[in-house]
Structure 1
Amino acid sequence: MKTSVQKKITDTFQKLKETLSLFPESDLNKVPYEGSWTAGQVAQHIIMADSGFPELFARKTEKTNRKPDENVKDIDALFLNFDLKMDAPVFLIPEKKEYNKNDLNLKLLKIESELLECAEKYDLTLISPDFQLPGFDKFTLYEWINFALVHTQRHTNQLNKIFKSLNNL
């Protein structure tokens, strides 16, 4: 399980880095269309949402009597439905400011490294009882990593749309 999770982490962040690299610094903070975030804001949102897993995993955990990936199908169905418009919770809305691509990349690299370390260090079959997404049961550590990855994939798709819009593709 650990090896396949680590491969998913590496693959997901590789695609994100490739997509973010498409943006010249001059386009990173351009609003592509009304109501959209900039590419810099999207990257910052990913950073905000995908940070803190080492702290979460180090907290109290509990054994479960269900499959450790039981919620994965529902998480994937929700977050990989690109036709569904979602609003970020207020605490995950990125600031409207000028973002620097190198700073964003360094923070994303740190998150990737932390997720890889968590996948190696922790028993991913355990439940984290201290935090819960609305509409879901308490997640196993495996499901939390999966959430981070599908959330990142969703916003990598959004970055591709922003790039196409800015470049009239």
Structure 2
Amino acid sequence: MSQLINDQLCETRNNLVEEIKLLSDTQFNAKPDANSWSIAQVCHHLTLTEASFIRLIAWALKQEDSKQAERKNILIIADRTKKVPAPEFVVPAEDLFTVQQIIELLDESRGKFTTFLDTIDDPSLLTEKSYKHPFLGDLPLDQWIELISIHEQRHIEQIKEIKAFIKVEH
């Protein structure tokens, strides 16, 4: 894994933890409305997404017929004005979580993700193979890795919006 990607992953995760670490469990699980996610659910979604990215990248790397795809502008994922429904397999549980529980899940999922990336024998395959993104189309695997930080940044902005809505002091 490149140092730049590693730095981006660390910086974004640190920013996320800074946003949530001082919340009470009540604030953490408060929903702005019945159809919205709580901050806890947003964070749970991020752990589910990270795990799904491991599975999809591992699967795509094994595919002989996986083709090279054109690079896309993945920064559009960070745009919160564009609503993107989460695929069913990354929709968070309705469970209540403690902040500490989620921080541990975030640490665990990131550890698994970086360990997985370190096991890729031929990183050049990440630019040569692709997997279809539900909104962006065929995406080179290295852009899937970059997408983790961009996706997380999108949800950090969502967390800030939720905190403002439930009136959390900064």
Give CA-to-partner distance per residue, 1:111-169, whole Å, 9 cap, x none. 222332344332132314xx422243433221111222211111111011111111266
**Aligned counterparts of 2:24 and 2:55: Cα–Cα separation in 1:** 34
Letter of the 1:125 counterpart: T
Q: Choose 29-38 or 140-149, whichever is displaced more.
A: 29-38
Letter of the 1:132 counterpart: K
Q: Is the 8 Å Cα contact of residues 68 and 127 (structure 2) preserved in structure 1?
A: no
Q: Which residue of 2 aligns with 1:108?
A: 106
Q: Which residue of 1 aligns with 2:75?
A: 76
CA displacement at 1:11 relative to structure 2: 0.9
Letter of the 1:160 counterpart: K
| Secondary structure, aligned partner of 2:31 | coil
Change (3 A) 1:121 1:25: same
Q: Is the 8 Å Cα contact of residues 5 and 119 (structure 1) preserved in structure 2?
A: no
Q: Which residue of 2 aligns with 1:158?
A: 158
Question: Whose strand fraction is larger, Structure 1's or Structure 2's?
Answer: 2
**Aligned counterparts of 1:56 and 1:85: Cα–Cα separation in 2:** 23
Structure 1 gaps, min length 5: none
Q: Which residue of 2 aligns with 1:15?
A: 15
| Secondary structure, aligned partner of 1:139 | strand
> What TM-score results when the alignment is normalised by the length of structure 2?
0.80
Letter of the 1:9 counterpart: L
> What TM-score results when the alignment is normalised by the length of structure 1?
0.81
Change (3 A) 1:140 1:118: farther
CA displacement at 1:64 relative to structure 2: 5.5
- Superposed CA RMSD in Å reads 2.4
Q: Is the 8 Å Cα contact of residues 41 and 96 (structure 1) preserved in structure 2?
A: yes
Q: Percent identity?
A: 23
Aligned counterparts, 1:80-91, within 5 A: 80-91=78-89
Q: Is the 8 Å Cα contact of residues 42 and 155 (structure 2) preserved in structure 1?
A: yes
Aligned length, in residue pairs: 162
| Secondary structure, aligned partner of 1:88 | coil
Structure 2 gaps, min length 5: none
Letter of the 1:149 counterpart: S
